[in-house]
Amino acid sequence: MFTRFSDIDRLFGTMDMLRQRLDNLYTDYNRPYRSTWLMEDGFLRANLYQSGDAFEMRLEVPGMDKDALDIKIQGNYLEISGKRDHNVPDGYKVHKTERLNGTFSRSFTLPDDVDGARVEATLKDGVLYLTLPKSEAAKPRQIAIS
């Protein structure tokens, strides 16, 4: 009946989902957990990926222009700060304001030194993508066996 592991995995996956749905039925059905843009302590959410000779970093920055962001790099120290201010549009009454406002800053210590001159940053759909090439000294090197 089950010829592959993925079949068993699939079966359990479906059962898990059913159980979750039943668990949620009374407590918070249709009420997913809240996510806010900043983490509780005021940090932006960030992902760091590594490949052989570069880091890639992604940060959630919804609704921010490139002018509102400030990126600084020194060696392996990266600091991202910015400001988000969206004012209440004129003549509107406020019902709810959950989106956070104000200044923020987050700093990272990267595992290796970065070549600051070749860093690229792009902003797309509210996510900031940073490509951070490692500095020459930090790059992996092929060693020839003599």
Partner 1 sequence: MDKNTEIAKRDDRNIEKTRELYEAAPAVDIYENEDEILLVADMPGVIKEEVSVNIDNGRLALSGIRKLESGGVASWEEFGNVEFVRNFSVPQTIDVENVKADLKNGVLTLHMPKSEEAKPRQIEIKTA
Round to whole Å and give the CA distance between 122 and 130. 7
At closest approach, how far in Å is the CB of 104 from partner 1? 14
Instruction: Name the residue nearer to partner 1 (CB basis): 88 or 137.
Output: 88
Residue 31: count of CB within 10 angstroms of its CB = 8
Q: Decide whether 3 or 146 has the Cβ nearer to partner 1.
A: 3
- Containing 35, the helix (H) or strand (E) segment is none
Residue 12, H or E segment: helix 5-24
For residue 80 the two structure tokens come to: 């991202």
Nearer to partner 1, 64 or 138 (CB): 64
Spatial CB neighbours of 45, under 8 Å, sequence gap ≥ 6: 37, 38, 39, 59, 60
Residues that bind partner 1 (CB under 8 A): 4, 6, 9-10, 13-14, 17, 30-37, 39, 45-51, 55-56, 58, 60-65, 86, 88-89, 91-100, 111, 123, 125-127
Distance CA 71, CA 107 (A): 10
What is the nearest approach in angstroms of partner 1 to the Cβ of residue 65? 7
Q: How far is the CB of 145 from partner 1 (least distance, A)?
A: 26
In contact, 31 and 47? CB cutoff 8 Å: no
Least Å from the CB of residue 131 to partner 1:
10
Encoded tokens for 143: 């060693």
Select 25 or 39, whichever has its Cβ closest to partner 1: 39
Q: Which is nearer to partner 1, 5 or 26 (CB)?
A: 5
Q: How far is the CB of 116 from partner 1 (least distance, A)?
A: 19
